[in-house]
Amino acid sequence: MDLDTRLENVAVLGAAGKMGSGIALLLAQEMAREKLKAGNKDRTYVLHLIDINQESLTGLLGYLRVQLTKAAEKSIVSLREVYADRDDLIENYDVIAAFVEDSLSVVRPSTTLDSIGGSKLVFEAIIENLPIKLDVLKKVDSICGPDAYYLTNTSSIPIHVIDEGVGLKGRIIGYHFYNPPAVQKLLELISTKSTEPEVVAMGGELAKRLRKKVFPANDIAGFIGNGHFMRDILHATAEVKRLMADEGMTEPEAIYVMNKVSQDLLVRPMGIFQLIDYVGVDVCRFIMHVMTEHIEGERLEDEILNKMAKAGVLGGQFASGAQKDGILKYDGGRPAGVYDLSKGGYALFADGDWVALLDEKLGAPPAGIAPWRALLMDAGKSSKLKTYFDALAATDTMGAGLAREYLVRSQEIGAKLVADGVADSADVVNGVLTNGFYHLYGPINEYAELMTDKVGGK
């Protein structure tokens, strides 16, 4: 059965969630385009959007309408070609409205699984809880039958564990979108030793249609992106503890320092603690737990994250996409404070001179430093980064030292992902971090080589 046929009847489980809603948006557009192709207008296309909450499904429909309108506005030139035979669509807004309605016409929201019989592609984006996933997928497979293929968006659970637990016999693949799925270009495609070749080929073809950059990952818990990110977190939190012990910093001060170093001196879009908040403290803890459970000989757990979660400091995002307060407090989307566990509240950057004193202690940044946003679209960013990291290697401030340690550790993590067989090459690791996390450079790079002598020849 080819992909075109499978796209006639598709289901998304957990469709009203953060990831499921984005996946639903992508599929609604692709299925509408298929429906509008010459020769397909007599074919029926159905996108089952399944969630347990009716109110959330109602909100999902509103979200889809808004986002489909925005997507149509951006692709109006290609849509005019799609609707070339429609003489009644004169103005751009006519074409946009037609595409929105054609996309929504395939959608069938429901709170019950019974409605998805006949679905040949099932996207799973429900809660990251293995027993729940297995229970739901067993029910779905009994309804959809042995011809259905499954694409799971799990960010950490090994695919073979789900496959074996449900009894899918290779009819499932890891299809890890990055948040938000409609915007992020990266897709980790995770297959197992038993995954049917047709499932892999179909997944790759669909990813191209959805305009995603595909990077293959092998079936080891956490995969590539989170495999690097979780260990990156553990380096930062270990440094927080060291700064508290060796430099006499308080925990909020040390968190501020590591967040600043990881953003400013490593030239990343977010500091490490801001990124933890973006993903969610509990989500990070869960991913670490799954990795610990399935990777022999490695324990990934962090005391700081555990204490924050116990205190109800969880981060995450509102339905609007705005950042919730977490380890950091936010004002207009920008960090404005650090949660102080000892006081049960936030130490604000604007209160007193503690931030200025820490900045002074870190020292002046190396010559040639530029913020991530300024370099993102700069055609000359590679040479500018080389100049900057040369300067970082020669700078003897506390901040530069912390950045060098971070760069070297990040490279070690990336190299181990290749050595352990999670990724097939350094280029794949770098591709995931640059496309999924928007880093300007991958963790396995020439810059880290400059730093090894400075950090003890690691």
Q: Going by C-beta distance under 8 Å and a sequence separation of 6 or more, which residues neighbour residue 419?
A: none
Q: Is residue 268 domain-shared with residue 180, that is, in the same domain?
A: no
Tens-place pLDDT, residues 269-304:
999 999 999 999 999 999 999 999 999 999 999 999
For residue 145, pLDDT beyond 70: yes
Q: Is residue 277 domain-shared with residue 164, that is, in the same domain?
A: no
List residues bridging with 328 in a β-sheet.
338
Sheet holding 334-340, edge to edge: 328-331, 334-340, 345-348
What are phi and psi for residue 93, nearest 5 degrees? Answer: -65, -25
Q: Is residue 50 domain-shared with residue 161, that is, in the same domain?
A: yes
Q: Is residue 76 domain-shared with residue 188, that is, in the same domain?
A: yes
149-152 and 121-124 beta bridge pairing: parallel
User: What is residue 292's predicted lDDT score, i.e. its pLDDT?
Assistant: 97
Q: Is residue 355 domain-shared with residue 380, that is, in the same domain?
A: yes
User: What whole-number distance in Å separates Cα of residue 304 and Cα of residue 337?
Assistant: 16
User: What whole-number distance in Å separates Cα of residue 141 and Cα of residue 164?
Assistant: 13
Q: Is residue 193 domain-shared with residue 274, that is, in the same domain?
A: no
C-beta atoms surrounding 100 within 10 Å: 22
Q: Is residue 138 domain-shared with residue 106, that is, in the same domain?
A: yes
For residue 457, pLDDT beyond 50: no
User: What whole-number distance in Å separates Cα of residue 227 and Cα of residue 217?
Assistant: 11
Q: Going by C-beta distance under 8 Å and a sequence separation of 6 or more, which residues neighbour residue 305?
A: 233, 237, 276, 281, 284, 285, 288
Residue 331's domain comprises 225-455
User: What is residue 306's predicted lDDT score, i.e. its pLDDT?
Assistant: 98
Percent of the chain with pLDDT over 90: 93
pLDDT, greater one: 39 or 379 = 379
Tens-place pLDDT, residues 221-255:
999 999 999 999 999 999 999 999 999 999 999 99
Report the CATH number at residue 280. 1.10.1040.50
Report the CATH number at residue 120. 3.40.50.720
For residue 54, pLDDT beyond 80: yes
For residue 86, pLDDT beyond 80: yes
Q: Is residue 12 domain-shared with residue 95, that is, in the same domain?
A: yes
For residue 320, pLDDT beyond 80: no
Q: Is residue 394 domain-shared with residue 326, that is, in the same domain?
A: yes
Q: Going by C-beta distance under 8 Å and a sequence separation of 6 or more, which residues neighbour residue 198?
A: none
- Residue 40 — very low, low, confident or very high, per pLDDT cuts 50/70/90? confident
Q: Is residue 409 domain-shared with residue 326, that is, in the same domain?
A: yes
For residue 416, pLDDT beyond 70: yes
Q: Is residue 271 domain-shared with residue 329, that is, in the same domain?
A: yes
Mean pLDDT computed over every residue of the chain:
95
- Residue 455 — very low, low, confident or very high, per pLDDT cuts 50/70/90? confident
Of the candidates 197, 218, 239, which is a domain's last residue?
Answer: 218
- Residue 318 — very low, low, confident or very high, per pLDDT cuts 50/70/90? confident
345-348 and 334-340 beta bridge pairing: antiparallel
- Residue 321 — very low, low, confident or very high, per pLDDT cuts 50/70/90? confident
User: What is residue 456's predicted lDDT score, i.e. its pLDDT?
Assistant: 60
Of the candidates 202, 218, 234, which is a domain's last residue?
Answer: 218
Q: Domain count of the chain?
A: 2
- Residue 159 — very low, low, confident or very high, per pLDDT cuts 50/70/90? very high
Q: Is residue 184 domain-shared with residue 48, that is, in the same domain?
A: yes
Tokens 């996946």 found at: 23
Q: Going by C-beta distance under 8 Å and a sequence separation of 6 or more, which residues neighbour residue 178?
A: 184, 186, 187, 225, 436
User: What whole-number distance in Å separates Cα of residue 8 and Cα of residue 208?
Assistant: 18
Of the candidates 193, 218, 243, which is a domain's last residue?
Answer: 218
Angle at 29 between CA 25 and CA 32, to 5 degrees: 135
